[in-house]
Amino acid sequence: MMHLLHVVAELRGRGARSLNGAVDAATPRGTPGLHVFGAPGRLLRERTGAGLRAAVARGRVGGRPVAAAPEKVARSGVRIAGGLTVREAASRLELGTPAHDAALAMHASDSLPR
């Protein structure tokens, strides 16, 4: 909420004004109006954060799923070692070349000794 008040004060200093009505944070009428404008964003951030924390607690990970399973990556490595190009191996596994390259890189880093 404080960020919203700072932005309004900065805009007022630049000479900006409301197009649809007089919203003035300095008046008793304007301050509750700004709180009403800022409340949905704050609620959304709080609920999103709570949902992400709950998902992590259940062991869920956000983001896009990995395109290639480890078995596919292993088969791809065998095919490349057998003489196929990376593009051909990716095509046979029905993967795009970028997804295939990323999966190979991830698999290679996982198999390195630590």
Tens of each residue's pLDDT in the chain, 114 residues = 667 667 766 766 666 666 666 666 666 666 676 677 777 877 888 889 899 999 999 998 777 777 778 888 888 888 888 888 888 988 888 888 888 888 888 777 554 343
Q: Which residues of 58-96 are buried (b: 16+ CB within 10 A; e: fewer)?
A: eeeeeeeeeebeeebbeebeebbeeeeeeeebbeebebe
pLDDT at 114: 32
CA distances from 84 to 75, 81, 91, 92 (A): 12, 7, 11, 10
CA distance linking residue 74 with residue 89, whole number of Å: 11
CA distance linking residue 50 with residue 52, whole number of Å: 6
Tell me the whole-structure pTM to 2 decimals. Answer: 0.40
34, 25 contact by CB (below 8 A): yes
